[in-house]
Structure 1
Amino acid sequence: MAQPSTPESTARAPRGHEAHTTRGAWAAGGTMFAGVLLLVDGIQAIIKGIAGIAKDDVYARLGHYVFKFNLTAWGWIHLVLGIVLVVVGVGLLKRAVWARVAGVMLAGCSIILNFMWLPYTPVWAIVSIAIGVFVIWALSNTGDHRSPAV
């Protein structure tokens, strides 16, 4: 004879499986979304980089900013960062474990570089900073170290 179902018995996951939580589901979906966001942020950085390299007067020059570099140098920085972000974004979408660690580190670097880039394009720098913050949250918030299945 089967025992009646109690709230405790239905809340437990079968042996060897983790319980499904709302927070875990958000983080798991966020991991895939983080991969897409890294791709978008990387492509955006590549475009910023190409614009800075191709024509040095695309962005407004500032007076006496602490992190003042030649705009061509900023273009190369953004181009290299963008290419690496795209590679890591593709790695996340392919569920590579190395991409999770690299994604957190590169999102942190992207936040710092976009903070330094803030006076040149404030709106897009803030958008990139927000993307980086979400990527770090999503990649570090899942309990297991595997990306979810698509």
Structure 2
Amino acid sequence: MSSPTYPPPADPVSGPPRGTQRFEDDSGAAWWGFAAIMLLIGGILNFIYGWAAIDSANFYVNNAQYVISDLNTWGWVVLVIGAIQVTGAIGLFAGNQYGRWIGILAAGANAIAQLLAIPGYPFLSLALFGVDILILYGLVAHGHPRRGGVI
């Protein structure tokens, strides 16, 4: 006499019986990790770019017309956005909702800022705008990771 197997074998057509197997989708955690790393990198770069703009470094295009005042003001805007991005990345690494909302705010603000900065550094602005859109997708579409934190 053979004992029944538990869990019952899967039917090739309908799949495993209900309630016998649980699968976790880790794509949300992967997107959170991507968003956290890219926010951290973008925040550090924005901090450096802001510092360079405040110092009137020769990194930027000469005689560019900025939407927001002058290069010095633009540097402070980018520096503040960079600090918010780093804060959001730290929150995402911790795995909390605070980091998610700060990350959404920071990526959205940086996306707008990069579009406004196209006269200063056109190709870099468009590339960073694309990265910000991917960050927004990862944080908005994939919600909260299943486990404690990203790392």
User: Which range, TM-score by smaller chain?
Assistant: 0.7 to 0.9
* Residue identity in the other structure for 1:125: S
How many pairs were matched up?
142
Is 2:108–2:136's contact at 8 Å kept on the other side of the alignment? yes
The counterpart of 1:6, out of the listed 11, 20, 30, is 11
Residues 95 and 5 of structure 1: is their aligned pair in 2 closer, same or farther, counting only changes over 3 Å? same
Give me the whole-angstrom Cα distance separating, in 1, the residues matched to 2:47 and 2:28: 27
Q: Please, what is the CA RMSD of the aligned residues?
A: 2.4
Structure 1 counterpart of 2:33: 32
Distance 2:42 2:95 in 1: 19
Q: Which residue of 2 aligns with 1:62?
A: 64
1:147 is displaced (CA, Å) by: 6.0
Instruction: Report deviation, 1:13.
Output: 5.8
Contact 2:85 2:102 survives alignment (8 Å):
no
- Trace 1:63-102 onto structure 2 (pairs within 5 A): 67-102=67-102
Partner of 2:48: 47
**Structure 1: 5+ residue stretches without partners:** none
Say if 1:107 and 1:13 are closer, same or farther in 2 by CA, change over 3 A: farther
Kindly provide the amino acid, as one letter, of the partner of residue 106 in structure 1: A
Deviation at 1:58? 4.1
Summarize the Cα distance change of 1:14–1:69 in structure 2 as closer, same or farther, 3 Å threshold: farther
CA–CA distance in structure 1, aligned partners of residues 146 and 76 of structure 2: 31
**Does the residue aligned with 2:119 lie in a helix, a strand or coil?**
coil
The structure richer in helix per residue is 1
The answer to which of 111-120 and 47-56 deviates more is: 47-56
Instruction: Give me the identity figure in percent.
Output: 25
Query: CA separation of 1:12/1:59 partners in 2, compared to 1, >3 Å: closer, same or farther?
Result: farther
Instruction: Structure 2 unaligned segments of length 5 or more: list them.
Output: none
